[in-house]
Amino acid sequence: MSYDTILFEMQGPVGLLTLNRPDKLNAINGRMVEEVNALLDRIERDAAVRALVVTGAGRAFSAGFDLTEGAGRPWNTVGDVRPVLQADFDFVMRFWHSLLPTVAAVKGYALAGACELAMACDITIAAAGARFGEPELRFGSGIIALLMPWLSGPKRAKEALLTGNDKISAEEALAMGLVNRVVAEGEEVRTALAIAREIAINDREKVRLTKQAINRTYSIMGFEQALAMGLDADIQIEALQTPEGKTFREIRQRDGLKAALAWRDARFAKKD
């Protein structure tokens, strides 16, 4: 099958999914969501596919959801916001809940929703030089899939999320528990494929049941309920009309994102 925003190929029993909008740093738009969901629907039923590796074309894994796509849509009430963010949330969590074991191979940037996607995969390999982060609060937004506290613990998650840090190095991500391994740049896909092949040797159904059992352990601890609460908080954040948020959005719509960020930063700039 041919796609507009992704590439897919089989390498033995392992599927390799490449997010393919390199000119946009593989920003996730509606078309990509549709194509990935359709692909997963197909390969999860295919007994020949025993594991899935996810990576990005060009110089990045992904910069996250494409903020330009819905710039003109109404965004003033919970009713406006909820369907869009629910679809984004379901897309990220598709990799957590997939019947296939999923391995992310990250290079360059993995930001915002793409950082969440990398965390939602069962195993994450990072190239040295990769940068992770969730800068949503800096843009007046919230976290769609609040996975980081479950992987890193509350202290590190709060520092990263409340500051909007988008420069978490691969080594720091490893120390935080966000990734499994850091490898030399250019080796991330090869390493991810090698791990996926090791998984693929095992009985497909027994791998699925084991992944499901691990996920259910988190369910018992309230994982789904906590993520649903986090999504509700994000919906409230997006629909909240504060004076600061209103000014930020007005500057962003009139002059662009860089101008809005400059306005935000200048308000508390250190003065001599």
pLDDT tens per residue across all 272 residues of the chain: 789 999 999 999 999 999 999 999 999 999 999 999 999 999 999 999 999 999 999 999 999 999 887 656 666 778 888 999 999 999 999 999 999 999 999 999 999 999 999 999 999 999 999 999 999 998 888 999 999 999 999 999 999 999 999 999 999 999 999 999 999 999 999 999 999 999 999 999 999 999 999 999 999 999 999 999 999 999 998 888 788 877 877 787 788 777 887 887 787 766 54
Catalytic residue from among 35, 134, 136, 238:
136
Given 3.40.1160.10, 3.60.110.10, 3.40.640.10, 3.90.226.10, which CATH number is that of 6-205? 3.90.226.10
CA distance 230 to 215: 18
Pairing state of beta strands 131-133 and 168-169? antiparallel
Residue 69 is among the residues annotated as catalytic for this protein: no
Catalytic residue from among 116, 134, 188, 238:
116
Residue 172 is among the residues annotated as catalytic for this protein: no
CA distance 193 to 44: 18
Pairing state of beta strands 109-111 and 168-169? unpaired
Asked if residue 145 lies in contact with residue 96, where contact means CB atoms within 8 angstroms, the answer is no
